[in-house]
Amino acid sequence: AQEIVTEDDGTAVAMGYAADHSTVDTAKWTKKAGPDGAKQQCTTCTLYQKIDDEYGLCPIFAGKRVHASGWCNGWVA
C-alpha cells in the first residue's frame, strides 16, 4: 500500500495538512474557520479518492495516502 502522509511532510506543512481535521489551527488556516468549516475533511473534499474507511488518495499528495479524517488548505467543496 502507498505510504501514509505525515504532518511533517514538506507538502503537508505547506498545505496545512492535519491527519485529524479537528486539530487544524483555524487562526492560521482560516478556510477551516468558515461557515462550512466543521464539515471540511478529506471525505467531503472533491479531490478525495476513497480507498477504505480510513484512507484515500489525493492528487496534492500523489502516490501517498491521506487520512479520511484529514484536512488541508486545498479542500474543495
Residues forming the site for ligand SF4 (CB under 6 A)? 17, 42, 45, 47-48, 58, 60, 66, 70-72, 74-75
Q: Which is nearer to ligand SF4, 37 or 74 (CB)?
A: 74
Q: Grid coordinates standing for 6?
A: 505525515
Do the Cβ atoms of 41 and 68 come closer than 8 Å?
yes
Cβ 7 to ligand SF4 shortest distance, Å: 11
Query: How many whole angstroms separate alpha carbon 34 and alpha carbon 30?
Result: 7
Do the Cβ atoms of 54 and 68 come closer than 8 Å?
yes
Q: Which is nearer to ligand SF4, 27 or 39 (CB)?
A: 39
Cβ 75 to ligand SF4 shortest distance, Å: 4
Residue listed under C-alpha cell 492528487: 59
Q: Which is nearer to ligand SF4, 47 or 51 (CB)?
A: 47
